Each structure stands twice: as structure tokens, then as C-alpha cells.
Chains A and B, each alone.
Chain A
Amino acid sequence: MISAVTPELILHITAIGLIAIGLAGVVLSSHLFRMVLALVIAEAGANLMLVLAGYRWDAVAPILTSRAEPAAMVDPVPQALVLTAIVIGVGIQALAVSILIRIRQRYATLDRKEAAERMDAEIAATLGAPRDISQEAPLGERPLPPLPADQINMRGDSP
């Protein structure tokens, strides 16, 4: 498969490359907006991949005109699919940006770690539970508190 470096293969590699770049961008970036943009790249890569699925080297665009049909046409189905995929992608990205604006108004920051920290604090506040132990404060206080009186009896200090 590697031997025949057909243009088709190059396009496939670029599609997968785009997806990889997009995903890496999402993972590595620490700013929320940059993550959304990386997501856009990944979606473009996926759409390219979808288009390539129906691609034939020497065919022409699948447009029916009054003239006689051309010899070979590219498979129109994936192109229809790509249309809907792009529409969905745009829809989600628009929603993402609007949520980003809301976060900016609420938390005045778009840094991922800080936003997550703020969210945790707010959840703990609304639900009224004590903040759970983070990595800094280990489990329970040190040294261990003595057993409460009624526990001692229950312990029964069996051999």
C-alpha cells in the first residue's frame, strides 16, 4: 500500500493529519478558546476524510446538467453527508463561542485550570458540601484523632 504513493493516499494522510493536529491542539492548549478552535480544525479534517471516502481520481463533480452524462462521476452521497456534517459543526462552534462569552462574563477568565477550580468551588458552595480533599491537603488530619468514646466499646479490642 505504501509503494503506490497515489495522490489519494496523500489526501488521506492529510485528512488524518488534520484530525491529529486538531486533537493535539485541544489536549495541549490551556486556553478554552484555543481548544474550540482546535476542535474546528479536527472537524475540518473529519469532513475531508468523509469527502475522500467517495473520491475517484479521474471523475468530475457530480453535477447533472442538460448535456449528456460525462463518463465517470464522483460518488455524490458522501458529499451530501459532508454538507450536513459541516452544518452541524458550525452549529456547535457557534454555541461553543456563545458559552465562552458567558464564562468570560461569569468567571472573567478563560484559563482551563482556573475555570475548573472556580467551577468546583461554586458546585461545592451550591450543594453545601465541604470541599473534598485536594492533592495538597491529605486525607483527614494528622496525627490521627483518638477514637470517640462510644467507638472504643465497639472496638472490643479482640485478639
Chain B
Amino acid sequence: MSTNLVLIIALPLLGAFLLPVLMRSSMAIALWSGPAILIYGCWIIADLWLSGFAQPLSVAIGGFAPPLGINLYVDSLALLFAFAVQLLGLVFWPFTLDQESARRQSLMLLLVAASTGLALSGDLFNLYVFYELAAVATFGLASASGSGAAYVATLRYLILSGIGSVLTLFGIALIYSQTGTLNLAHLAQLAPEQLHNSLGLTAFLAILIGIGVKAELFPVNTWVPEIYATASTRLSAFLAGLLSKLALLIILRLLLLIFHQPEAAQVILILGILGVISGELAAWRAREMKRMLAFSSIGQLGMIFIAMALPDGKGMLAVLALSLHHLIIKSGLFMLAEDWGGALERLRGSAKASPLGAVLFVLFSLSLVGMPPLPGFWAKFVLITELAAQVEPLYLLGLAVFLLATVVEASYLFRVAATLYGSPAQDTLSEEIPKTKGLSLLTASLFGAGVIAVALLIAPVGDGLQAIAAQALDVDLYITTVSPAVSGGSQ
């Protein structure tokens, strides 16, 4: 059963390259093969989850033992994210039928494969490879719309991501020169002696900034507004909702398993706070819906970085809750932005045209801002109580910034809600007012139902998340599951 786990990476990869060939022979099969692969992937994970998934397991790829070979480390956290990737891949599948669809669908499969790899992989260099694979797939998809702006945005993003990968390579080289291994479990064992010095810290920070590019870390997220404004909303939903979380997951794994120095946490905290400030304030001035959502996702991810910076893993539950909540809400909002993407002024009075869309927008904003019964409130509550427990002034500053950011967030989100429900300007004709319709409205209402479901059964969901967080925190559990396979590798 553990062997076919590798399939969820292998099959999309295979599909990605076979699709153009299939496209030529018969359009029908080609069109449905992509979603079929994803559904099969979801089924595998669900089957594994339902068959009682207590202990995490490590899958050695190609039979090579971990210190040399690459292993997939599957604990409930990784499985959760892998399932999310398959599901969202399916939800955001580019069904539009145009001459570009073959290229888009294969790139999408590539992106899904890379993301699943990011979630499951247990080897540092393997993570780097999947990270680059995902980057290439994103460049392809982002520039698919063919407009000049898309190309310039993709190029700027490419250069940024290129520098990021240079820094990551630099970090990996440093780590390898210090410890001689790249397997995460092995590194976790060696870390206390070899990596807890300034060189180890430099390596971590280099990787942090390198991977931070995709995780929308403060200084390196200048590409976010351009890409989300020019790329198709489905792609930006996938990027904002999921890919940034996976990059975040890597940094989290590194922080938990290998680098326990307080300086690392402080750097993340400072960058997180700056991210929140810049994201929320920029969103306050945004004129278009897509750009506003882009800045708001920067702000939200800044908050998750603040949660991650809490010492000795206390923030783990907050990180998990915030990222899952943000995933659902941002995807829903982007789905609404598919039809309401343009300028906010044009949206005036469109609540009458599409009441369901407006109600969903209000529901998502309320949860994002943290109105009590909705899950957003519980995520914020967990973070707030952890932050307040700290003593150092920096954490209290983080708390204050977090609270103020929520106020700014509420004001710009509800300014949009007010224009939605406002009366349309006299001269606009009724059919000019944008209406949410079709598939995007369906998916948005799916996410809305998800939010309400989580709000209703918040108690079991909360305990489930706590269990996942506890398991992820457990470093020596990580080492023991992988180490029996290590069988006396070079200590």
C-alpha cells in the first residue's frame, strides 16, 4: 500500500508529458485524462487515511536506504497537504477549451506533481528539485495568457525565483559541507552539534530567503501583485491558496527539525511583521479586486510567519489553523474574483445582479476578519493567546501589529462589501454590471459551504488539528520512523 503512494507523484508527471501526444490522437480522452489522474490520487490518499493512519511512514524511493537514497516522509500533516494539492488541482483544473488548453493542462499536472512532491519529500535536495519544477510550471502557466504584461510579470518573477534558487543552492552546499548528508531525519540527528553555529544559521537564512520567494516572505514578494493581476484567477488561486503554504511547510520543517536557534525565529518574526504591515496597508489602497486579494494574501501569510516564529513549536497549531483557513477563504475569494476581477468601482450595485456572489463575499470577509462563530475567529484566538504568553517585546509588537492589521483588513474588505450593496451609478446599464456565474460561482459556493461546515463542527476539527500539530512537532518520532531504515549510516 505504501508503494502506490509514490504513484501520486509519478502519475501526474507521466500524464504531464504524455498529454500533448494524447491530445493529437483523440481530444476526448486527453481532456478527461488529467482530472482522472487527480481523482485517482485523491482516492489513494483517502484510502490510506481511512485505513487507520496512526503512525507516520517513510517510503524509500527506488529501494535505496535513506542516507543515500531519497525517502518520502508521510505524516498526517504531509498527507493533509498532499490531499489538498490533489483536491485543489482538480477544483482549479483549466477546463477552458482553447488551443492553449493542452499546454495548460500538462503544466497543471506538472505543478500538481511538484507540489505533492514538496509536501511529501524527506530529502533537502529533492525538495529543491521539486521547488524548481513547481517554479517552471508556474512560469509556463502564468505566461499562458499571452499578454505583454503577463510576459513581463513572469520574467520579473523568473529572475526573482532564479536568485532564490541560487541562494537555496548556496544554503544546501553549506549544509552538505557541514554535515555530509541531505536527508532531513539524518540532519535532525546531526544538527545539534554541527549546525547550531553561525554557519548553520547562514545556511538556514539563505534557504529561508530562497524558498521565501514562493512563500511571499516580505522583501521578496514584489512579484505577487503583478502575477496575480495578470495570470488566470484559477492559477492565482492555486498559487496563493496552496503553493505558498507548501513553501511555508518546508521552512517550518527546517525550523522544527534542524534549526532551533532563537535568532532564526526572530528573523522570521521581523519579516512576518513587516509582511503584515506592508500587505495590509497596500491592500487598503488597492483599486482592483485581484490586486487587493494579492496584497491581502501577503498580509495573511505575514501573519502565518508570525505564528511560525513562536519559540519551541508553540505556534504549530496556529500555523496549521491559519494556513488551512486562509487556503479555503482565499480560494473562494479568487473564484469570486473570476467575474468581479476588474476595478472595484465597476462593482457598484452588483449585489442585486448576483446576490449569492455578494453573500459569499461577505461570508468570506467575515471569516477572514474573524467573526466569532466562523473558523477565522478560532484560528486568530489560538494565535493571540500564544503571542500574548510571550514576554519579549518583539512578540507583543507582533500581537499589536496583528490586531491593527485586522482592523485595516475589516475596513477595506467591507468598503468593497458596501460598494457591492451600494446603488449602481446612474449611467451604467443593467447588463454592464458584472455578475458571478457558472463554474466559478459553483466552486465559490463549495468553499462557502466548507467554511460553514467547519464553523458548525469546530470542536472535532479543532481536536483533529491539535493531533496533527502534536505529531508534526515530534522530532524524534520523525527520526525513529526514518532511522530504522538508516541502519547505521555514517553518524
A residues apposed to B, CB below 8 Å:
19, 22-23, 26, 32, 35-36, 39, 42-43, 45-47, 49-50, 52-54, 75, 77-78, 81, 84-85, 88, 91-92, 95-96, 99-100, 102-103, 106-107, 115-116, 118-119, 122-123, 126-130, 132
Contact = CB atoms under 8 A, between A and B. Distances in A.
Contacts, number: 140
Query: Which 9 A-B pairs rank lowest in CB-CB distance, beginning with the nearest?
Result: A106-B148, A129-B343, A46-B169, A129-B287, A122-B149, A53-B177, A127-B288, A49-B173, A53-B176
Contacts of A42: 162-163, 166
B125 interface: yes
A86 to B, nearest CB: 11
A25 B224 CA distance: 23
B136 interface: yes
Contacts of A126: 147, 149
Given A42-B163, A78-B176, A99 B155 contact: yes
A148 B445 CA distance: 39
Interface of A is mostly: helix
A54 B163 contact: no
Looking at B128, B148, B166, B341, which has the most chain A CB atoms within 10 Å of its CB?
B166
26 contacts: A36-B159, A39-B159, A39-B162, A42-B166, A43-B169, A46-B169, A46-B173, A53-B173, A54-B176, A81-B176, A92-B132, A92-B135, A95-B139, A95-B140, A103-B151, A103-B152, A106-B147, A115-B152, A118-B152, A119-B153, A126-B149, A127-B287, A127-B343, A128-B288, A128-B342, A129-B288
Contact of A130 (B154, B230, B343): B343
Interface of B: 68, 125, 128-129, 132, 135-136, 139-140, 143, 147-149, 151-156, 158-159, 161-163, 165-166, 169-170, 172-174, 176-177, 180, 182, 226, 229-230, 285, 287-288, 290-291, 341-346
Given A77-B182, A129-B342, 17 more contacts: A42-B162, A53-B176, A77-B68, A78-B176, A81-B125, A92-B165, A99-B151, A99-B155, A102-B143, A116-B156, A119-B149, A123-B149, A123-B226, A127-B342, A128-B342, A129-B343, A130-B345
Given A88-B132, A122-B149, A129-B343, A96 B166 contact: no
Contacts of B230: 119, 123
Interface of B is mostly: helix
B155 A88 contact: no
B166 A46 contact: yes
A37 to B, nearest CB: 11
B342 A84 contact: no
A122 to B, nearest CB: 4
A128 B432 CA distance: 13
A45 B173 CA distance: 11
A128 B132 CA distance: 34
A91 B139 CA distance: 12
B6 to A, nearest CB: 18
Given A52-B173, A99-B154, A128-B346, A118 B148 contact: yes
B165 A88 contact: yes
Nearest to B152: A119
